[in-house]
Amino acid sequence: MHTTHITPLEFDSELVSRHDGHGPRYTSYPTADRFAPHPVTDAYVAAIKARNAGASASPLSLYVHIPFCDTVCYYCACNKIATRHKSRADDYLDDLEREIAMIRRLFADKPVVSQLHFGGGTPTFLTNDQMCRLLDMLHDAFDFASDAECSIEIDPRRLQEGALALLREYGFNRMSIGVQDVDERVQKAINRIQPTEVTHGVLEQARELGFRSINMDLIYGLPYQDTVTMARTLETVVNWRPDRIALYSYAHLPERFMPQRRIDTQKMPGPKEKLAMLKLAVTTLLDAGYVYIGMDHFALPDDELAQALDQGTLQRNFQGYSTRADCDLIALGVSAISRVGHVYAQNARTVEEYAQSLDRGELPLIRGLVMNRDDEVRRDAIHSLLCQSELDLQAMSHRWEIDAGAYFATEIESLADLERDGLVTVSDELIQVTPKGRFLARVVAMRFDKYLRAGTPMVRYSKVI
């Protein structure tokens, strides 16, 4: 594994601007938009049974989607339901209990879980009693490894007293805190008023309780943002010193996400200002000692994510970058996407459709994809480029019993323009993403996406930068 080149990053504004465009984030390959709306239940069940029979030694990961929020943040592109009625979560937990029972019956023995993640919506929408109920259901159905990584997305504004202590009692050790921006005018424009003292208070409480890795989410490209507001947000967050920082580009897709129609586009920064904010953020975080992990993630050098990067063991899944070995994923709740063996399977997108399937005694799956060998080979190649900043053609040849140079001949030829621009270097043995190319690794990875070559319109994806 060639890892000595990984840590450096050179941010070249001109190259970033030139190669910006629409593209997938590759939390999966094939990407979720390739899933077909046909029955996938039989294939999914068969994959779990094959796992029972020893066909897979992959660790098991759980994801639970809690779709509720008290209020809508206008920028949000998640599958969520805005409501102040906590009772709606009781009905949803009834449905989750049925889905968990169905999944548990598919396993011969009580499965051992190495990772758990709660996402949303806002998982902390749940009351402490509701959270206890959900966690008890999961612990009744699954065994959790002693070193299990348990993480949750936190909205500091909606945190019930005692909630963090409760989560620690159940083994949660990681969290992600939504910040976005500390400027009050920006917060009002996106309908997310969040005083810094509230955010900092949650951070300090989490540290006192022993959460060992804390991420903060920031967004650039929102209304009223500029380099001045970005500098203020960065100064605040860097002083807090979270273990990880995720820096997301705001993707304005109002035709797909209705709340974004409330965003005043006249107040959004233009492309040059947005690029200047990005450069400022990258420079500030690197100067503050953070390591660039990839795409939009940074971490302190002693964080497990940075260590996995240097050791060549970094992974990528539906939650983004991960430190654990490639897992089979059981995903629970509305719109959640599972992957077991060769099979991707997605649940119904609405609580109504989700509940109706369970009423019929059926798993609430609506679409999915069974990977073929080419999908798996390309998935390996794409994730290698995004996680290790290289594609070792000799290792690929050995791993997949192919001639990787010949297999990817068209893709390698297509890299010529990126090589001329200094984003990659190509030899018979190795394709390496250069320090200048690391921020554009998605652009490199897209050259290996068979489905994009088939002519899928690019506008359906968010911007790369």
Q: Is 337 annotated as a binding residue?
A: yes
| 41 assigned binding-site residue | no
Asked if residue 122 belongs to a known ligand binding site, the reply is yes
Q: Which residues contact 31 (CB under 8 A, 6 or more apart)?
A: 24, 449, 451
148 has binding-site annotation: no
Query: What is the torsion angle, in degrees rounded to the nearest 10, for the CA atoms of residue 292, residue 297, residue 302 and residue 306?
Result: -70
* Cis? peptide before 30, omega within 30° of 0: yes
Task: Describe the crossing of helices 128-141 and 87-106 by its angle, rounded to 10 degrees.
Answer: 10
SS (H, E, C) 342-379: CEEEEECCCHHHHHHHHHCCCCCEEEEEECCHHHHHHH
387 labelled ligand-binding: no
Distance CA 363, CA 378 (A): 29
- Between CA 267 and CA 273, with CA 270 as vertex, the angle to 5 degrees is 110
Known binding residue 26? Answer is no
User: Can you list the residues of the chain whose pLDDT is less than 50?
Assistant: 1-5
d(CA 346, CA 364): 8
Tokens 């190509």, located at residue: 426
Q: What is the Cα–Cα distance from 444 to 389, expressed in whole angstroms?
A: 10
69 labelled binding-site residue: yes
* Gap between the Cα atoms of 214 and 84, Å rounded: 27
> Distance between CA atoms of 97 and 141, rounded to whole angstroms?
10
Q: Any residues with CB less than 8 A from the CB of 117 and at least 6 apart, and which?
A: 61, 62, 63, 64, 150, 151, 152, 319
The annotation status of 401 as a binding-site residue, yes or no, is no
Report the alpha-carbon distance of residue 24 to residue 463 in Å, rounded: 9
Q: Which two tokens stand for residue 30?
A: 């094939």
Contact status, residue 217 vs residue 237, Cβ threshold 8 Å: no
For 139-158, how does the pLDDT look when each residue is reduced to its tens digit (9 = 90+)?
999 999 999 999 999 999 98
> 162-195 b/e with 16+ CB inside 10 Å = b?
ebbebbbebbbbbbbbbbbbbbeebbebbebebe
pTM for the model stands at 0.93
For residue 134, count other CB atoms closer than 10 A to its CB: 23
Q: 3-class SS at 79?
A: coil
Residue 180 annotated as lining a ligand binding site: yes
Determine the straight-line distance between the first and last CA of the chain, rounded to whole angstroms.
28
pLDDT at residue 5 in the model: 41
CB 312 within 8 A of CB 388: yes
User: Cβ distance 236 to 196 under 8 Å?
Assistant: yes
- Residue 115 and residue 138: Cα distance in Å, rounded? 12
CA angle 216, 157, 333 (to 5 degrees): 75
| Cβ neighbours around 329 below 10 Å, total | 24
Does 120 count as an annotated binding residue?
Answer: yes
Sketch out the chain's domains with CATH numbers. 1-27+372-452 (1.10.10.920), 31-329 (3.80.30.20)
Q: Is the peptide bond before 178 cis (omega within 30 degrees of 0)?
A: no
Helix (H) or strand (E) holding 114: strand 112-120
Binding site annotation covers 177? no
Residue 46: how many CA atoms within 13 Å on its side-chain side?
9
